[in-house]
Amino acid sequence: MSEEIRIGVYVCHCGINIAGVIDVKQVVEHAKTLPNVVVAKDILFTCSSVGQNTIVDDIKREKLNRIVVAACSPRMHESTFRNTVEQAGLNPFLFEMANIREHSSWVHPDDPEGATEKAKTLVRMAVAKAKLLEPIEKSRADVTKKVLVIGGGVAGLQASLDAANRGLSVTLVEKLPVLGGKAALIGDLVYSEKKGWQIVKELVTQVVTHEKIHVLTNTTVENVSGAFGDYHVTLTITPRYVKETCLTPEKGEEACPVEVPNEYDFGLTRRKAFYKPFEQAYPPLYLIDMSSCTKCGLCLEACGNNSIDLEEKPKTLSEKFGTIIVATGYEPYTPSLGEYGYGKDGRVITLSQLERILSENGPSFEDLNLFDSVENIVFISCVGSMENPRDEGARTYCSRMCCSSSIKNMLKLRELFPSSNIYFLYRDIRTYARKEEHLYEQASKNGIIFLKYDLSTPPDVKINGKPSVEVLDKLLGKRIQIPADLVVLANGMVPPADILKLRSLLKFPCSSEGWVAEAHPKLRPVELPSPGIYIAGSIQAPKDIIESLISASAATAKAVIPIIHGRVELEPLVSYVHEDVCGACGICVSTCPYDAVQRVALEDGRRVARVDPRLCMGCGQCVSACPSAAMQQKSFTDKQIHEMIEQLVV
C-alpha cells in the first residue's frame, strides 16, 4: 500500500520583496485548497531560523512527507531548505521550491493582482510536482588525496601552503617561468608596511621548502578528465632550454641579438630572447623565449653547447587529483593605441607601469629618460573600467583598487617631485575602508588637485611636443587645459587571456564581465558549480593582495574537506537512461557539455546510451534532446514536468 501524500506549503514574505507586491495571504488560502496539502502557512522570512524551525516542527507534528516553499530563486536557498527537510528526518529531495520573487513580484511590481495570480499558479505547479517526488539517495566515491593548484601568484602560493600545512600533497602549476604573479612586481602597498615583492618572497620561500608541495613553473594544464575526487590532469612542461649546469648564462644573454618588450616591466624596457625574468624571480634561472628566438646559435658559442639545448622538447605529465583550486589571477588592462594618447608618447604610461617604476626593483625614471623636469603630473581614473554599459563589450565593473593605488602613488610622486602639480581627473573616488580613506585625506592635505569629470565628456589627451590634457571640470563647469610632463592612466583589471581555455577544461561559467562565476555569492562564494573545483584570488573579480590571500585560504578550507574525509558526495540529480527504449542515436552524447554520456554495447549486442553519474551535473540538455524519451533526469522526469504544465493551463 503506497503512503498517503501529505504536503506542507510555506509562502515567504521575504520582508517586502514578495509581500510588497503579492497578497501572500491569498496565496496561502489557495494552497489550502490543493489536493494533498495538509498545512499551508505564510512566514515573514522562511530562510530564517524561525522559519526553518517552523517547517521542522510541522513535519514531525503533522507527519508531512512533501514540502513546498514559495519564496526566492532555488539558486539562493534551495540547499538551505533541503538541509532543513533533512534535519526533520525527511529525504532532502522530497522538497520543491516555487520562485515567486524573481518570477513574480520582482517582474510585475506594477500589477499586484496579476502577480498574486501568477504566484498561485507557481505554487499549484510546485504542489503538483511535489506529489510525484521520490526519495533520492546521495552517492559517494573515494577521493585521490592530492590537490592541484593552478596559478603561482599570491593566491596560488597561499592556497598551496594552506593545503600542505594540513598534511596534503600539493602540485602547484604556473604557466610563467617564475612564481609570484603581478604582486612580485609591486613595491609599496596601500594597506601593509611590506612591499608586494616582499610578501611574494616570504610565500615563495615557504612554498619551495615545503616537503608536501611540488612546484612546476613554465607548465600549462592541457586536459582535465575524470570527476570530483578523481580528476585526471595532463600537464605540459615547457623546457627552459638553458641547463642548470650552465655556469655563465649572463654571457648567453649578452650574446643574444634578439630584443623584445619586457613583460615583467609592462613593456617599459626590452629584454633579450635569452633572459632572466627579473632579479628576485624564483626560480632564479635563465631561459630562452622560443617565441622570439631565431636559433642563431650565438648563445651556444658564448656558453658552450653542453649548457644549452635548443632542440629540447616539452614534457608531458599525467597525474590524479581529488580537488582543484583555480588561482590564475588577472591581467592589467592595456589601453588601445591612441586611447588617452597611450602609445603615442612615452610620457603617457599606465598605473601598472608607474607601480613598476616606483618599485625598488624596476626601471627608474632616470633609466627611462622620460622627462628633464616635472612640473605637472596628471592621473586619469577608470581607464578600462566603469565604461558606458550601452557600449558593446564595455567593462562596466569597478576595478576597486585603482583609486587607492593612484592616490598612494601620487603621494610617492609628491615626495620625489615636491614642487610639481599633481592632478587626479576622476569619475568617482572609491577608497575602501578606513586606511584607504585616510590616504584620500592625506592626498588633499598634500596639495593633490582633484578634478571630477563625466563619462560623457572624458579627458582629451593631445600629443603636440609634449602631452597636454583638456578636461571639463564637472564642479566648476568649465574646460581646463593642463600641459603634462607625465600622464598616468589608472588602468583596471581584466580577466586573464587563458580563461576561455580553462573554462572549456573545467566546465565553469563566467559572469557577463568575463570573470569566473562562483556557485553562490553568499552560500558558496569560493566554489564552482562543478563540484571539487574552487576559486581563489582575482580570477573571480578584482581584488587586492590581502583579499586574494583571504579568499585563497577560504578556497583551501573548502577544497581539503573531501580529501580529509576520504570520500566525496556526488551530484544526485543526474540523468539516467531507460535502456529498453533507447535507440543509441547519439544525440545525447553530442549535446552533453560534461562528456558524461557515452554509447555502450550490451551483452545482446544492442547499443544504448549510458550516463556516468560521476560526471553528470544535472543540466538536463540530454533529456531535452532525446527523441525517444529514453533519457530522464531524477526529480525532473517527463511525468513530473507534464503534471506541472497541466496545472499551468488550469
Examine the pLDDT at 435 and tell me if it is beyond 90: no
**Considering the entire predicted model, what is its pTM?**
0.85
- Express each pLDDT in 216-235 by its tens digit: 999 999 999 988 999 999 99
Q: Given this chain, do its domains 7-130 and 331-494 carry the same CATH topology?
A: no
Angstrom distance (rounded) from CA 204 to CA 179: 7
Mean pLDDT of the chain: 94
Examine the pLDDT at 574 and tell me if it is beyond 80: yes
Task: Show Cβ contacts of residue 288 under 8 Å, excluding neighbours closer than 6 positions.
Answer: 240, 241, 242, 273, 274, 299, 308, 310
- So what CATH class is 575-634? alpha beta
Examine the pLDDT at 434 and tell me if it is beyond 80: no
Mean pLDDT of 435-453: 90
Torsion, CA 179, CA 181, CA 182, CA 184, rounded to 10? -20
The domain 7-130 is placed in CATH, from the list 2.60.120, 1.20.1270, 3.40.50, 1.20.1070, at 3.40.50
- Express each pLDDT in 63-119 by its tens digit: 999 999 999 999 889 999 999 999 999 999 999 999 999 999 999 999 999 999 999
Architecture in CATH of 331-494: 3-Layer(bba) Sandwich (3.50)
Looking at residue 45, its amino acid is: F
Mean pLDDT of 129-153: 93
Return the closest-CA partner of residue 284 out of 208, 221, 360, 220.
208
- Report the run of H or E that residue 439 belongs to, with start and end: helix 433-445
Q: Indicate the pLDDT class of residue 478, thresholds 50, 70 and 90.
A: confident
Mean pLDDT of 6-29: 97
By CB atoms closer than 10 A (0-12, 13-18, 19+), residue 335 is: middle
pLDDT for the residue 415: 95
pLDDT for the residue 433: 72
- Higher-confidence position of 390 and 49: 49
Query: 9 in helix, strand or coil?
Result: strand
Judge whether 281 and 204 are in contact, CB under 8 Å.
Answer: no
Examine the pLDDT at 489 and tell me if it is beyond 80: yes
pLDDT for the residue 389: 85
Mean pLDDT of 255-280: 95
By CB atoms closer than 10 A (0-12, 13-18, 19+), residue 185 is: buried
Classify residue 520 by its DSSP letter.
B
Parse the chain into domains and list their residue ranges.
7-130, 146-238+314-330+507-567, 249-307, 331-494, 575-634
- Express each pLDDT in 292-319 by its tens digit: 999 999 999 999 878 999 999 999 999 9
Examine the pLDDT at 393 and tell me if it is beyond 90: no
What is the dotted CATH code of the domain comprising 146-238+314-330+507-567?
3.50.50.60
Looking at the chain, the whole-number percentage of residues with pLDDT higher than 90 is 81
Examine the pLDDT at 533 and tell me if it is beyond 60: yes
Supply 636's cell numbers: 525532473
Angstrom distance (rounded) from CA 589 to CA 495: 31
pLDDT for the residue 1: 44
Tell me how many degrees the CA angle 14-511-571 measures, rounded to the nearest 5: 70
Examine the pLDDT at 158 and tell me if it is beyond 80: yes
Mean pLDDT of 195-223: 96
- Express each pLDDT in 348-372 by its tens digit: 999 999 999 999 889 999 999 988 8
